[in-house]
Structure 1
Amino acid sequence: MGSITSYESASGKRYRVRYRKPDHAQTDKRGFRTKRDAELFLASIEISKARGEYVDATAAKVTIGELGATWLKSQTHLKPSSRDAVEIAWRLFVEPMWGDIGVGTIRHSEVQTWVSQLGTGDAKTAHNAGPRSATVVIRAFGVLAAILDVALRDRRISSNPARRVSLPRKKKKQHVYLTHNQVGLLAEQAGAKATLLLTLAYTGLRWGEAVGLRLKDLNTLRHRLSVRENAVRVGGVIVVGTPKTHASRSVPFPDLLTFHLAKTAENKSPDQLLFGDGMTHLATPSAHDGWFVAAVTKAQAIDPSFPRVTPHDLRHTAASLAISAGANVKAVQRMLGHASASMTLDTYADLFDDDLDGVAVALNVQAMSSNVGKMWANSSTGPLNNPV
């Protein structure tokens, strides 16, 4: 227990409370006008310590800027591209608004207002860029919430004011799926990049995974590609790491690619890159010009109904073609390298919905060839026409 003592001040008699913090360091608080006030304060301190809810008022003065800098340095587990996105969110949105504010003074309502203002373009940011998308808002909020979680674990605050904040909903982007004929047409316009384009469309590899393939990852006998590396551009530099989910995987490819992949691999050593010159990772195609946009433009000139697509849409195309060929959700998950089958279902719910019609048709075909079909289908003498 702590102690209470009185002392004389210029304003009269006052009381001081001495107590020990959870780390056993002694501290005090003075200025109480009555002994009763001092006793109530001391009781609240002892209760908060017993419940594990004690917050050091001095520790609560640390700013988001100070704690955020330390938190950022600890995010070494993130993929380079993810870390880059987090640092941008911190620099542009979180630090300008919260950098000088002590963690103990932040209120839930203030966080909610900030989230809303990011969406409308009224929030304080590094530069006035107007309303931000739901993705950007959620990422910025996530950075602030994570920093406040650190403050909570360090017992600088008793609760995280960023929790239970209403966030904007992400608009689900409509997927673009090419048909086999459209894939072929696009490949014809891609010139020397045709094999790479076909590989993307028929394996579902991410761009970084495809350009990270090495000759030793190609098995033409088993029709497999071993995905072990992911080459992504971060801050203008290609960074090579593990695949997005950190796990390597074996991805099948159709036999139509065998000859073309083998041709691509000619005169290369096992450790050289499969695509390109073997030494340099191919850069992600520009969204505005370059070989991929040129190929799409040529395809649209031939077929006006050809959709505007990006390299990532070829990943969606691979999922669509696999599902239409009869692949189940688990097979598609493994092919795409999703963390779970539920993620595959969430991403391609529209494709699996189409499969429901196929299920009904298949069930009907099998039922009609059995006694059930003979008894029930289009029969005026079936059980339903003679209810009990």
Structure 2
Amino acid sequence: MSVTRRTLPSGTVTWRAKVFFEHRVIAEKSFQRKTDARRWEADQLVKLQRGTWIDPTRGRVSFGTLAEEWQGSRQHLAVRSQETTQFLLDSYVIPLLGRFPIAVISATDVERVLTSMTVRGLATATRRRVLSVIRLVLDYAVRDRRISVNVARSIPLPKGTTKREPHWLRAGQLGKLADAMPPNCRPVVLFLGLAGCRFSEMCALRVDDVVQTPHGFGVRIHRAAPQSKRTSGAIFGPTKTHQTRTVPVPPTLETYVRDRIDSAPSGSYLFPSPTGAIWTNTNFRVRSRCTETTQSVGLAGTTIHDLRHTAASLLIAAGADVKAVQMILGHATATMTMDLYGHLFSEAPWVAMERMPMFPEPGNATGDATAK
């Protein structure tokens, strides 16, 4: 009998339901009524048979402990990615949910985290990232059979502007910006603005990564060196997509690349800082006087990542197809390339606009406007 009658010292009668699996008790609970005890026992048995049973004791772990365990399971990811999620957890989530047992966390508790961020005036993109991290932590708990439902999945992503509109330079503007840069920074700006590599990929390039192809020089992009948020130093690791690609060297930089191959010892950086060390986002901004330089040439607000968008627009204008742009930029899929730059590939909007009727200024008309 798995439901037994118990009499407490006070004289109160309770009914204790026990669930057995492989000759051991895996769950037990007391009820005031025998009917309730039998109903609970039957429900647990059905879940066992369906494979959906969750051990209630496993849901008592705190969110903070689970988040730490989840972080430990992600050691295969890039250090920068781990630092970002740890920062989001420590700054916004753990202070509010860290002590809660995961089994008692409700959708309201998760919404409270997002509300507190809204009150602080944090950006929509940040709130979205925080919700995504909470979802991932609780997904980990579901996979590990500690909880049956991820309540964070029922909460929609915060609405609002999440991304800055892509901004790119025209060829003349890129040349003007490059010419205004210090000598060590000029090749970097041209390479980023024409080859479209990520800044962290450019930093990690060495002279040994230059390859000679039947078409000319190329560089093997197979590692990245993003800047650590914790130490501010460069962290070497795989590329964002964990893939290797060969990117053609822009013709305007062939002489520079050839000189680096001839003069620099093996293992030297292809684009070194003035001290010969690796660039980081911070020291490049300082050395190039990025803010002042962009303002001086009338391009205030231009960012390093805008050079990647510039390369994409110039490649498309030069006639590159979607697959070529995807390969050069290192996007995971051609769909991603189309999502970002698809409007630049299509001629339809411009063809349609050219067919719109002309309406000359009054007094300058040579004839009636033609409406088609």
- State the one-letter code of the partner of 2:248: P
- 1:146 to 2:143 alignment: no
Taking a change above 3 Å as real, the CA distance of residues 113 and 24 of structure 1, as seen in their structure-2 partners, is farther
Q: Secondary structure at the match of 1:41?
A: helix
Give distance in 1, aligned partners of 2:260 and 2:296.
24
Deviation at 1:288, TM superposition (A): 7.0
Taking a change above 3 Å as real, the CA distance of residues 47 and 208 of structure 1, as seen in their structure-2 partners, is same
Q: Deviations over 1:6-58 (max 9, x none)?
A: 2322233332222225x763155354333222211211111121222222222
Taking a change above 3 Å as real, the CA distance of residues 298 and 164 of structure 1, as seen in their structure-2 partners, is same
Give distance in 1, aligned partners of 2:237 and 2:255.
29
**Paired position in structure 1 for 2:264:** 268
Structure 2, unpaired ranges of 5+: 354-372
Q: Secondary structure at the match of 1:70?
A: helix
Instruction: Kindly indicate whether the alpha-carbon contact (under 8 Å) linking 1:220 and 1:262 is maintained by their aligned counterparts in 2.
Output: no
Q: Secondary structure at the match of 1:16?
A: strand
Q: 1:1-388 counterparts in 2 under 5 A?
A: 3-9=2-8, 10-21=10-21, 25-27=24-26, 29=28, 31-118=30-117, 120-121=118-119, 130-169=120-159, 170-192=161-183, 193-219=185-211, 222-234=216-228, 235=230, 236-276=232-272, 279-285=276-282, 290-293=287-290, 294-300=292-298, 306-353=299-346, 355-357=347-349
Q: Secondary structure at the match of 1:163?
A: helix
Deviation at 1:279, TM superposition (A): 5.0
Q: Secondary structure at the match of 1:15?
A: strand
- State the one-letter code of the partner of 2:154: R
Deviation at 1:295, TM superposition (A): 2.9
Instruction: Kindly indicate whether the alpha-carbon contact (under 8 Å) linking 1:213 and 1:274 is maintained by their aligned counterparts in 2.
Output: yes
Taking a change above 3 Å as real, the CA distance of residues 276 and 94 of structure 1, as seen in their structure-2 partners, is same
Give distance in 1, aligned partners of 2:72 and 2:196.
34
- State the one-letter code of the partner of 1:71: W
**Paired position in structure 2 for 1:370:** none
Aligned-pair RMSD on alpha carbons?
2.5
Taking a change above 3 Å as real, the CA distance of residues 356 and 263 of structure 1, as seen in their structure-2 partners, is farther
What is the percentage of aligned positions where both structures have the same residue? 30
Give distance in 1, aligned partners of 2:267 and 2:282.
24
Give distance in 2, aligned partners of 1:33 and 1:184.
81
Taking a change above 3 Å as real, the CA distance of residues 4 and 38 of structure 1, as seen in their structure-2 partners, is same
Give distance in 2, aligned partners of 1:194 and 1:131.
38
Instruction: Report the TM-score when normalising by structure 1.
Output: 0.82
Taking a change above 3 Å as real, the CA distance of residues 350 and 286 of structure 1, as seen in their structure-2 partners, is farther
Structure 1, unpaired ranges of 5+: 122-129, 301-305, 362-388
Q: Secondary structure at the match of 1:241?
A: coil
Taking a change above 3 Å as real, the CA distance of residues 307 and 94 of structure 1, as seen in their structure-2 partners, is same
Give distance in 2, aligned partners of 1:62 and 1:202.
51
Give distance in 1, aligned partners of 2:310 and 2:49.
58
Deviation at 1:157, TM superposition (A): 1.6
Taking a change above 3 Å as real, the CA distance of residues 286 and 166 of structure 1, as seen in their structure-2 partners, is farther
Q: Secondary structure at the match of 2:14?
A: strand
Instruction: Kindly indicate whether the alpha-carbon contact (under 8 Å) linking 1:16 and 1:28 is maintained by their aligned counterparts in 2.
Output: no
Q: Secondary structure at the match of 2:66?
A: helix
Q: Deviations over 1:318-376 (max 9, x none)?
A: 000000111111110000000001111112234234x3357889xxxxxxxxxxxxxxx
